[in-house]
A and B are shown apart, each in its own frame.
Chain A
Amino acid sequence: MGKRVGMEGSFAASEAVKMANVDVIAAYPITPQTHIVERLSEFVNNGELDAEFVPVESEHSAMSVCAGSAAVGARSFTCTSSQGLILMSEIVYCTAAMRLPIVMVIVNRSLSNPISIWNDHTDVMSIRDCGWIQYFAENGQDVLDHVLISYRVGEDRDVMLPVIVNMDGFSISHVIEPLELLDQETVDKFLPPYKPGVVLDPTHPVTMGAIVLPTCYTEAKKAQDEAVKASMPTILKAWQEFGDLSGRYYHPIEEYRTDGADVLLVTMGGIGETAMWAVDQMREKGRPVGLLKIRLWRPFPFEAFRKAAEKAKMLVVVDRAVSYGGPGGPVASELKSALYNEPKRPPVVNFIAGLASRDIAPFDFIAMVDRAEGTIKKGMGPLYEIYGVRE
């Protein structure tokens, strides 16, 4: 058993990066990501972590430095938020296609304009199709555990993909929570040193990032898609082994009080814990409401989701990003796609809420379930509703 401490979510990420003994950290400051790199700089400058800290001049260069360092075989880390993420997004796509197993923590924050430092998922949804494995953490402990799990999975020779750990800005990154640190011995058992396959090495010259003509581009993209899909067994195995070592078992879709639930709330990220409160309150009043929390966003766990959703009579999906003029929030769109070809599919009611840290309290979840039930009775309403707009 590891040591139990009170620790900020950001520092949990830094602690995990230290325990993973990374070789290169490249980052550019942006709120609310800053605490992670501040702490990492302290680790490096105090000799607690033997790594190169590259204080780059932009997020675009942060990801580019990681591309270079990962290509020579160094375990590499970066983290960012919001505008920083979309500035670096060009290289986020490149590193996935180049199969460089970088780990990035995204401290989720709204996109401009209007400029907002607060939390929602509009930043990461802008790179939804970048080809990285993507987790969503629910609390500081998840963050700590998933940085380690990410290196283990991404560096696996059957996977070789970069991995994103999403954590909500402020509500996770700046909140001190009780969490359990793993001792280094346990971490080392779970996460062996990185043994890269192909690297830039003068004794074995390789060409990386070659130009591919239309004759091979489709094949390259097919291979990339297969690689992301094929990472699922490795992800599940890593979670199982991590659970055996730490006692904390993770799943692609976390279910909460779903037995006999007619209505399932669906959340992703930190609001899941508030939703649990709301479910408890509704259950106390005898309402058959349960909760699904999506932990793994890419590769999307279609099988686990369909299984979890098959008995429900209605899904109430809470999204934290907008697809302007589109079919609804990205999570709801995804779930609808997952269910569309199923013979029995529950209706999906979609609320977009919690933009720029607008609070979602337990009573908001209850209100959403009430509204959704009303909507269904009247026949399906609009594709989605932006919840809680002040008029």
Chain B
Amino acid sequence: MEKLNVYAAKLVPKNENFTQGHRACQGCAEVLALRHIGKALGKNVIIASATGCMEVVSSPFPFTSWDVPWIHVAFENAAAVASGAESGLKALMRKGKISPRKIFVLALAGDGGTNDIGLQALSGALERGHDFLYICTDNEAYMNTGIQRSSATPWGASTTTSPAGKVIPGQATWKKNMAAIAAAHDIPYVATACPSYPFDLMEKVKRGARIPGPAYIHVLAVCPTGWRSPPDLSIRLGRLAVETGIFPLYEVVDGKYKITVDVPELRPVEDYFRLQGRFRHLTKDMIDQIQRRVRKEYDRLRKRVEMTMED
């Protein structure tokens, strides 16, 4: 984040690589993330997209929102398709069949396409060391199919397959920590980001793309439709996720942890929950339980930063 102090809105490229006219819902923070990602990467990119909201809203034939080369094949294989594109470019450039130049390869998928069905393909691609960037835009459930729970759905959240019932009050498992799983592959770059912090997001995208080898960025994307939240509060909700410590913004560069948007005093998680219908049923006990866990996780992250700090 060294360059952040020279960042200003007017330095952000005006050019849109993800253009207007898409079919996303009002207040969708996921398309906003794509727009920022598009600006950060520029024109020299090839995108492999998984099936999901972003694929559906951006490519209704004969229209497209993509002003860069984009391919969608299936749900679980964005990382593998990106692996293929990267390998193909490498071979073609080495054999002199296309002119050698840096082309970023980006894989895009939601939390279902990453944490769940795409995890194997992602792990394989990270392990093989392809030079590509994988971005998961995480809206914490299968929103495209109608708000079913995924392994990224937070504990207690009500979805259509983890409803707030009389016996079981919503999602019964804790959110799978994908960034930690990516970092466990010992890849050169891992980060978390959120479009409520656009400069932080864009800087991380640039960094992840430029670093040779695999990079992974986990982006929290507020979904008013699935979260039962007012569309005009998407930016604020993203900020609250960070300010409460529920979704800390950090990066892991060559194994070294660094919090990029530090929150010295965490806000109570309730500030985040009360704006969302999916948490409306949470009892005081449940909120306390979440609060304890969030503190513990945040402390653990701070310890990781200390442990891996440079001498």
Q: Does B282 contact A (CB under 8 A)?
A: no
Q: Which residues of B contact A153 (CB under 8 A)?
A: none
Complexed CA–CA distance, A91 and B66 (Å):
23
Chain A residues whose C-beta falls within 8 Å of the C-beta of B128 in the assembled complex: 54-56
A203 to B225, CA, bound (A): 36
Q: Are A73 and B92 in contact (CB under 8 A)?
A: yes
Residue from the list A60, A66, A213 in contact with B84, Cβ < 8 A: A66
Which residues 48-91 in B have Cβ within 8 Å of A in the complex? Answer: 48, 55-56, 59-62, 64, 66-74, 76-77, 79-91
* B44, CB-defined interface residue at 8 Å: yes
Contact indicator A65/B72 (Cβ below 8 Å): no
Knowing A51-B91, A60-B121, A73-B98, the reply to whether A211 touches B69 (Cβ < 8 A) is: no
Evaluate contact between B120 and A57: CB separation under 8 angstroms. yes
Give A57-98 interface residues, CB cut-off 8 Å to B: 57-58, 60-61, 64-74, 76, 90-91, 94-95, 98
Chain B interface, number of residues (Cβ within 8 angstroms): 49
Asked whether any CB of chain B lies closer than 8 Å to the CB of A46, the reply is: no
The residue from A58, A72, A95, A209 contacting B85, defined by CB atoms under 8 A apart = A72
Q: How far is the CA of A54 from the CA of B45 in the complex (A)?
A: 21
**Are B92 and A71 in contact, CB atoms less than 8 angstroms apart?**
no
Interface contact B95-A212, CB-CB below 8 Å: no
Q: Does B43 contact A (CB under 8 A)?
A: yes
The chain A residue with its CB closest to the CB of B90 is A52
8 A Cβ contacts from B21-59 to A: 43-46, 48, 55-56, 59
Chain B nearest CB from A305 CB (Å) reads 34
Q: Are A57 and B59 closer than 8 Å at their CB atoms? A: no
B95 near A23 (CB under 8 angstroms)?
yes
Question: Is B85 a contact partner of A68 (Cβ separation < 8 A)?
Answer: yes
- Hey, which chain B residues are within 8 Å of A60, CB to CB? 76-77, 80, 120-121
Q: In the complex, which of the residues A68, A202, A205 contacts B81, with contact meaning CB atoms closer than 8 Å?
A: A68
Interface residues of A in 193-226 (CB under 8 A from B): 193, 200-202, 204-213, 216
- Bound CA–CA A69/B73 (angstroms): 12
CB distance from B153 to the nearest CB of A (A): 25
Contact yes or no, B43 A68, CB < 8 A: no
B127 at the interface (CB under 8 A from A): yes
- Report the bound CA distance from A210 to B69 in whole Å: 12
Q: Which of B43, B71, B98 contacts A71 (CB 8 A)?
A: B71
Q: Write the A95-111 contact mask toward B (1 if CB under 8 angstroms, else 0).
A: 10010000000000000
Docked CA distance A58–B103 (Å): 26
- Given A61-B124, A68-B84, A74-B88, the answer on whether A205 and B77 have CB atoms closer than 8 Å is no
Q: A71-B71, A205-B69 are in contact. Are A65 and B120 (CB under 8 A)?
A: no
**Residues of chain A contacted by B92 (CB below 8 angstroms):** 23, 72-74
Interface flags, B85-125, vs A, CB<8A=1, else 0: 11111111011011000010000000000000000110111
A93: nearest residue on chain B (CB-CB)? Answer: B74
B46 in contact with A72 (CB, 8 Å): yes
CB distance from A202 to the nearest CB of B (A): 5
Contacts A210-B64, A213-B61; is A23 near B91 (CB within 8 Å)?
yes
Contact B120 A212 (CB under 8 A): no
Q: Within 8 Å CB of A202, what residues of B? A: 43-46, 68-69, 103
With A56-B80, A66-B84, A74-B87 already in contact, the answer to whether A211 and B73 are too (CB < 8 A) is: no
Asked if A26 lies at the interface with its beta carbon under 8 angstroms from chain B, I say yes
* A50 interfacial by beta-carbon distance below 8 Å: yes
Contact code string A130-158 (vs B, CB < 8 Å = 1, else 0)? 00000000000000000000000000000
Q: Which residues of B contact A76 (CB under 8 A)?
A: 84, 88
Partner of A69, one of B59, B62, B70, B87: B87
User: Which B residue's beta carbon lies closest to that of A62?
Assistant: B80
Known: A202-B69, A205-B70. A68 touches B80 (CB 8 A): yes
A24 interface residue (CB < 8 Å to B) = yes
Bound together, the chains give a CA A91 to CA B84 distance in angstroms of: 13
CA distance A90 to B117 in the complex (A): 14
CA distance A26 to B94 in the complex (A): 18
CB-defined contacts of A56 to chain B, threshold 8 Å:
80, 83, 124, 128
Report if A210-B60 is in contact (Cβ < 8 Å); known contacts: A50-B94, A69-B88, A74-B88: yes
- Is the Cβ of B123 less than 8 Å from the Cβ of A71? no
By a CB distance below 8 angstroms, the chain B residues around A23 are: 88, 91-92, 95, 97
Using CB atoms, name the residue of chain A closest to B42.
A202
Name the distance in Å between A119's Cβ and chain B's nearest Cβ.
28
Q: Which residues of B contact A66 (CB under 8 A)?
A: 84
Q: Which residues of the other chain, B, contact A208 by a CB distance below 8 angstroms? A: 69-72
Docked pose: A59 CA to B185 CA in angstroms: 21
- Nearest 4 A/B pairs, CB to CB: A68-B84, A57-B124, A69-B88, A74-B88
- Some 15 contacts from A to B, beta carbons below 8 A apart, are A52-B87, A54-B87, A58-B121, A61-B121, A64-B74, A64-B77, A72-B46, A72-B92, A76-B84, A200-B69, A201-B69, A202-B46, A206-B69, A207-B66, A208-B71
Q: Which residues of B contact A (CB under 8 A)?
A: 43-46, 48, 55-56, 59-62, 64, 66-74, 76-77, 79-92, 94-95, 97-98, 103, 120-121, 123-125, 127-128
